[in-house]
Structure 1
Amino acid sequence: MPLSVLYLIVPSYLAAAEIIKHATCEDIIEANRRYNLIQPYLEDALKAYPSSTIRRWRTQYQKALLIYGQGYLGLLPKHNNKGNRTPKIDSQTQEFMLDFIKEHYETPKQRRKIRVYESFVLACQTHDPPFKPPSRITFCHAIKQRSGHHQTRKRLGNRAAISEEPFYWELKQTTPRHGSRPFEIVHIDHTQIDIELVSSLESLTNCHIATNNSIHQNLGRPWATFMVDAYSRRILSVYLTFDEPSYRDCMMVIRICVARFGRFPQNIVVDNGKEFHSHYFEQLLASYTCTLKYRPPAHARFGSIVERLFGTANTQFIHELQGNTQIKRLHRKVTKSVSPERLAIWTLEELYSAFCEWAYSVYDQRLHPALGTSPCDAFVTGLATGGSRLHRRVAYDELFQILTLPAPDQRKRKVQPGKGVKIHNIYYWADVFRDPEIEKSMLWVRYDPWNAGIAYALAQGQWVKCISSYYQYFQGRSEKEIRLASAELNQRQRNYGRKLTINDRELVEFLNSKFAQEGAILKQRLRDTEHDKVHKIIQNNLITEPKLNLAEFAAEENNDCLGDDSTNEGKNCETISNLTAYITETLEYYGEF
């Protein structure tokens, strides 16, 4: 092909592509209609004299055929080029209108467009020299052209404009957003579940409450704490409690995770809640070389994995139970007969058992739409790909449980001779405190937030268990109940002008008095009784988890396979097959590969 012809073809091709690019669907439909009309005349099939419109379309077709090499382009209507497209207002008026929009519309007042336009017309008339105001449609169109993140931030604030922020692409398309293996990125968050719970008959009996009319005493909605693996979307641990989110919930989900899998996450992503800024929580993560990452405030999409799980748990499980609070969204339609408080029948113990079964069995085996497989299969595949990483193993022993316990405000307490250390107005004693070198010294201490009867002190290089002098009264009572009782007792002493410091004896007498059998203290006592049942479920599950001795299993397998008894050959093979399936399932459960 000659070079001169090539120079003519390339520009014509680019121009043809530009025309096709700007053609709308309506333009293509119209061009098809015109082409069907002129096609007989192009082929000279009809000898009738064409009309002027047909001749014009045919001329446009032939001209486009010579210029672009495609006659079809000449049939595309050019409606966008019709009319006078130049602005009808001068540049000064245009600039004045934009400045007026910035100063009077894009403000926190959130004025309506019509009111701002009325003020704009008046401003144009009083301007020196006066301007001719444009129409209201033109003014509203100018406002619409400025819409977006900048305008929303000026009118509604930074938080409302988050959804309109510009999208930033990742550095590389191959970079995984949620990690490349299990336990690399883990999310922890809390939510209040949509269901009302009641106290059990056993809890009422333990709290010495008459069960005639209080069997269905309502305890409110529980809080759920989830720990989710970002790579596989698997729920590593879940915990239910009546108390508002605190460091206790964070410590408990980490305990459950370590007990189930024997692994500690590499990175934990949390929001900016007060409980995640606890010194105990940060110290625990630092002890196991875990990186703590905070999500940007009000950016829920950074925690979309766990946030989406909240809705899934409610819709797939909680909303199927009696006593759920869906109807409370319709405030005016809630009557006494359909009130969730009256329909509630679930206790915290029963709900936690059912919730664990849903989280660890049903949800774990169900197909996840974002993965194309179940969370369990994705978790197992990720562990096989990423390796076992034995250096990340964590033993669920007494030391780990002590490290998950909180410390008092100053973290250290002075050993008082003959009394011990004082935590939350309660003295704790251990035999090691008799040592003259330890008396009157400052020791690091920790306390059990669910059992005020015991505490721990770091003495002589090891953690020592300390018992309260009134252990039989403080056993099983939570830190929150002790704080409520102390605050109530302090208030009563202030009313009578007494001293503001209380001792453990006064605290015991108040807890055993009738004043502690009512109000917030009674409700907290009932809740703590339900919490104890949940903790027993957790401990029992941890104790009864199947432990498999790999050496014994290998020896038994070799003995069975090397045997010469042909009659037992089929039985042995079947046994080995069953054991192999069992060990595979067990190792997948614990993350052992």
Structure 2
Amino acid sequence: MGVAMQKISISPGALVLAGNKRLEIIASTSPSKIEARDVISGEIVIISPGEIEFELKTPPHSGSETFQAEAELAIRDSDIKLATDRFNVLAPLKTKQFLSRQDVEQCSLALGLSASQVRRLFAQLDIKKGPESLILKRRGRTKGVKIIGADVEDIIQQVIDEYYAGPGATVERVIQKVKEQCLALTLKAPSSATIANRVRERKPRELLAKKSGKKAARQVYAVRGEKVQPEAPLQLIQIDHALVDCIIVDDQRTPLMRPWITIAIDVYTRVVLGFYLSLSYPSAMSVALCIAHAALPKNSWLKSYGFSGYEYPFYGLPKRIHVDNAKEFRSKKLSDSCRSYGVELTFRPRGTPHNGAHIERLIGTLMGKIHILPGTTMSSTKAKGEYKSERKAALLFSEFREWLIREVEIYHSTEHSALGCSPLHKWEKYYQNKDGSFSYPLLVDDPKRLLIDFMPSKTRVIGRAGVRIHNIDYYTNTLKRFDIGTKCVVRYDPDSLKKIWVLPEGEKNYIELSYADLRLPDTTLSEFKSLRKKIRGESARRVPAAEVFKLIEKNEQLVSAATMAGKQARKTRERKRSRLADPGHPLNVQRQIEKHIESVDYSVNPVAYTLED
């Protein structure tokens, strides 16, 4: 999967880059507005979270004012030794998926830790990283401020395990016991706030079970088949697909097909954290685009569709994604991608639709709005009655998308019956501090990398002609750095085969590759496979990719020239057109840049510059 994604913390004093300006964050004025100071000019500016490109690791200097450099990660020798000792005990057990009770007891005895601490360390263990994976990672502090050592951290966790128990369990009791034990061992005790934060980091269900028993915890958090009640935004989101109850038309205003929507809801606030609208059947790519849309700020996305003055402040990587048992969700690759970003992927038990009730109700709400549109199919044949959906269809795909974005905005501002307030208010209330300022979810520092990491993938090797996938050769000069036979992970977009992204073994960053033959037209994987299968049916010989691309070009010319092509051909054309012309698609940003680059006309002789005497 490559390197773990860095996250950007938006807090007063943080130094960031936004719009080529080096800014120091001063305060937050709303869930979508941040007050910052230009460290060069001193100018005060207002920015949104989505404008922040990355966090400056080495703060710049401005005039006579010197900014204190961010402290490097401080790891003491004792922490390294402790991590090594723990690694030597736990590593031999990593071949097991779960630790048995006997394993836990033996490790607890060998390491002097509680059972819960052993399980946490085992989950954290990474054989490839070695002992480093077990080092307590905390951000460095400025000089003169000591960090909590591993020994003190262990005391805190052990006290929580032992003393946060029974009806009388309180945070105050934990604080008192931690300070008593630190004093007895002549260790500097952490602050009360630090200890309280460690308690709150535990799962709410675990804390309730320790205080009131497992039965009480099940009643609150495991009602009707493990129905979890989150206590904050981004703790749990649900994702599902739905076939939209409306027929859209093509650019000739001829009835075409029903779009698909992949949508994510934040269960705590009920906000639509992200969605992806498409004319293609749901796939791993639909899921990737939905997750990326949910995790990232929406500012540039709204602007790409011409929306100004709209606020969509909802974004962030969730702690847990809950999905049904569809094939595209059951992929091990999706599970691996989630794990690399610290996201837990869980599945709805079969036969328990109530486990996805929140996303189902949201889809039902949106479909109810859609039923007023021309061309609606309603929710059933009975509900549609004599209504002629195809005859009444009127909206282009782009028009329907614009309508849907506005409806989602309306939904966010409307009171939700289960919340007693609007989803927008619920989100804002959580992130508003006592002093009236706002905090923000962590930002992902490389949005495009996030999407690529969730895209469909194959394993290939670098060959003499480059990288071959789907029987198509891809190349870039960067591949010359690698030996023939080097293994690599290849990420691709099934709706646009023009480019792929390759991660060679041992590398940290993806390399973007284009067709080795730049004259080939862009196409979808389904179209390419369909035409290739058709040629194979006519003969048993191996079919070169170039032959398939010739058919694709002929089909495009035929469809564009025809005044009334067959419906299936129009669907194929519209799927491709809607994907490649979508201004809000994250992989289309580079295409838009390329369109503005003037191509060179090699038929015109160059004109020499006139030299001055």
Relative to the length of structure 2, the TM-score reads 0.52
Q: Residue 512 in 1 paired to residue 553 in 2?
A: yes
Q: Residue 178 in 1 paired to residue 223 in 2?
A: no
Q: 1:275 to 1:388 in 2, by over 3 A?
A: farther
Shift of 1:233: 0.6
Q: Deviation string for 1:130-175 (max 9, x for gaps)?
A: xxxxxxxxxxxxxxxxxxxxxxxxxxxxxxxxxxxxxx98635599
Shift of 1:248: 1.2
- Secondary structure, counterpart of 2:296 in structure 1: helix
1:360-375 equivalences in 2 (<5 Å): 361-375=409-423
Match of 1:350 in 2: 399
Match of 2:471 in 1: 425
Q: Deviation string for 1:2-26 (max 9, x for gaps)?
A: xxxxxxxxxxxxxxxxxxxxxxxxx
1:19-98 equivalences in 2 (<5 Å): none
Q: 1:199 aligns with which of 245, 250, 263?
A: 250
Shift of 1:313: 0.5
Long gaps (5+) in structure 2: 1-214, 298-313, 560-564, 591-613
CA distance in 2, matches of 1:364, 1:538: 23
Shift of 1:390: 7.4
CA distance in 1, matches of 2:269, 2:549: 49
Counterpart amino acid of residue 341 in structure 2: Y
CA distance in 1, matches of 2:578, 2:589: 19
- Secondary structure, counterpart of 2:263 in structure 1: strand
Counterpart amino acid of residue 402 in structure 1: I
Q: Residue 486 in 1 paired to residue 532 in 2?
A: yes
1:77-226 equivalences in 2 (<5 Å): 171-173=218-220, 177-200=228-251, 215-226=252-263
Q: 1:374 to 1:277 in 2, by over 3 A?
A: same
CA distance in 2, matches of 1:433, 1:174: 51
Contact kept in structure 1, 2:321 and 2:343, CA below 8 Å: yes
Match of 1:502 in 2: 543
Counterpart amino acid of residue 320 in structure 1: I
Contact kept in structure 2, 1:452 and 1:474, CA below 8 Å: no
Q: 2:372 aligns with which of 320, 326, 330?
A: 320
Q: 1:280 aligns with which of 326, 333, 336?
A: 333
Count, aligned residues:
345
1:306-455 equivalences in 2 (<5 Å): 306-315=359-368, 317-326=369-378, 329-330=381-382, 333-334=385-386, 338-359=387-408, 361-384=409-432, 392-407=442-457, 411-417=458-464, 419-435=465-481, 437-455=482-500
Match of 1:17 in 2: none
- Secondary structure, counterpart of 2:573 in structure 1: helix
- Secondary structure, counterpart of 1:225 in structure 2: strand
CA distance in 2, matches of 1:278, 1:221: 26
CA distance in 1, matches of 2:383, 2:402: 31
CA distance in 2, matches of 1:186, 1:258: 11
Counterpart amino acid of residue 406 in structure 2: E
Contact kept in structure 2, 1:193 and 1:224, CA below 8 Å: yes
CA distance in 2, matches of 1:427, 1:257: 33
Contact kept in structure 1, 2:472 and 2:515, CA below 8 Å: yes
Q: Residue 231 in 1 paired to residue 281 in 2?
A: no
Shift of 1:424: 0.9
CA distance in 1, matches of 2:494, 2:552: 17
Contact kept in structure 1, 2:256 and 2:570, CA below 8 Å: no
Shift of 1:472: 4.2
CA distance in 2, matches of 1:174, 1:254: 25
- Secondary structure, counterpart of 2:584 in structure 1: helix
- Secondary structure, counterpart of 2:415 in structure 1: coil
Q: 1:307 to 1:332 in 2, by over 3 A?
A: closer
Shift of 1:403: 1.0
Match of 2:514 in 1: 467
CA distance in 1, matches of 2:576, 2:497: 12
* Structure number with higher relative contact order (C-alpha < 8 Å, ≥ 6 residues apart): 2
Q: 1:278 to 1:218 in 2, by over 3 A?
A: farther
CA distance in 2, matches of 1:258, 1:391: 10
- Secondary structure, counterpart of 1:265 in structure 2: coil
Match of 1:16 in 2: none
Shift of 1:484: 2.3
Q: 1:541 to 1:187 in 2, by over 3 A?
A: farther
Contact kept in structure 2, 1:451 and 1:474, CA below 8 Å: no
- Secondary structure, counterpart of 1:370 in structure 2: coil
Shift of 1:193: 1.2
Q: 1:540 to 1:514 in 2, by over 3 A?
A: closer
Contact kept in structure 2, 1:197 and 1:347, CA below 8 Å: yes
Q: 2:571 aligns with which of 518, 523, 531?
A: 523
More strand by share: 2
Q: 1:233 to 1:385 in 2, by over 3 A?
A: farther
RMSD of aligned Cα (Å): 3.1
Shift of 1:255: 1.3
CA distance in 1, matches of 2:384, 2:345: 44
Relative to the length of structure 1, the TM-score reads 0.53
Match of 1:458 in 2: 503
Q: Share of identical aligned residues, percent?
A: 23
Contact kept in structure 2, 1:258 and 1:396, CA below 8 Å: no
Match of 1:27 in 2: none
- Secondary structure, counterpart of 1:277 in structure 2: coil
Shift of 1:378: 0.6
Contact kept in structure 2, 1:187 and 1:227, CA below 8 Å: yes
